[in-house]
């Protein structure tokens, strides 16, 4: 099931299974939506059904709205981790559990936390493969030298999320 919801960073495509929220996609234009739904359909063997009134999607939309309004720091949603496995899943679970709102962590530090020092580039790949951005906060992973690093939703989106959490100043315009 899926729905497109508005957010402080543009439309988001939310998708869920019976297990929990499985995907969040940025910039949910028709083309992005169709591509994501095609990938999800292939992965799960059935075409996802639009269900904006599904309780899990309504709750996810509510919590995201609260987050973008500055009233929520932690998401309390069931997550379906089935789109990611192995090292990537381990890194993303550590990120979700160990890097709170308003904090950042370096790629290398996150690699060290999962027992793989020297795997900073692999951590970067895991962030790029994150199927649950914002909820699993890959925007909180930055470069050791103070650079903000890359981001699947675009650097401007990453800056907005970090500014929302007080890590960066709000843009002037």
How far, in Å, are 64, 115, 137 from residue 133 at the CA level? 11, 23, 6
Active-site residue, from 79, 138, 142, 164: 138
* N-term to C-term CA, the chain: 37
* CB atoms closer than 10 angstroms to residue 18: 9
Secondary structure class of 5 (helix, strand, coil): strand
CA 72/CA 136 separation, integer angstroms: 14
CA 41/CA 162 separation, integer angstroms: 32
CA 28/CA 11 separation, integer angstroms: 5
116 noted as active-site residue? no
Q: Work out the angle at residue 59's Cα, subtended by the Cα atoms of residues 71 and 157, and round it to the nearest 5 degrees.
A: 55
Which of the residues are catalytic?
138
């Amino acid at each position: 099931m899926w729905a497109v919801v508005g957010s402080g960073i543009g439309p988001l495509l939310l998708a869920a299974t019976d297990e929990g929220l499985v995907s969040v996609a940025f910039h949910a234009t028709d083309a992005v939506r169709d591509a994501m739904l095609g990938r999800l359909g292939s992965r799960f063997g059935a075409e996802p059904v639009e269900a904006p009134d599904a309780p899990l999607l309504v709750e996810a939309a509510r919590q995201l709205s609260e987050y973008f309004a500055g009233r929520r720091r932690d998401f309390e949603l069931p997550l379906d981790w089935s789109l990611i496995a192995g090292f990537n899943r381990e890194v993303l679970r550590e990120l979700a559990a160990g890097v709170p709102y308003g904090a950042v962590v370096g790629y290398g530090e996150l690699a060290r936390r999962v027992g793989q020092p020297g795997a900073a580039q692999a951590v970067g790949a895991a962030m790029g493969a994150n199927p649950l951005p914002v909820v699993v906060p890959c925007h909180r992973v930055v470069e050791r030298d103070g650079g903000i690093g890359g981001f699947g939703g675009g650097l401007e989106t990453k800056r907005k999320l970090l500014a929302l959490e007080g890590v960066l100043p709000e843009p002037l315009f």
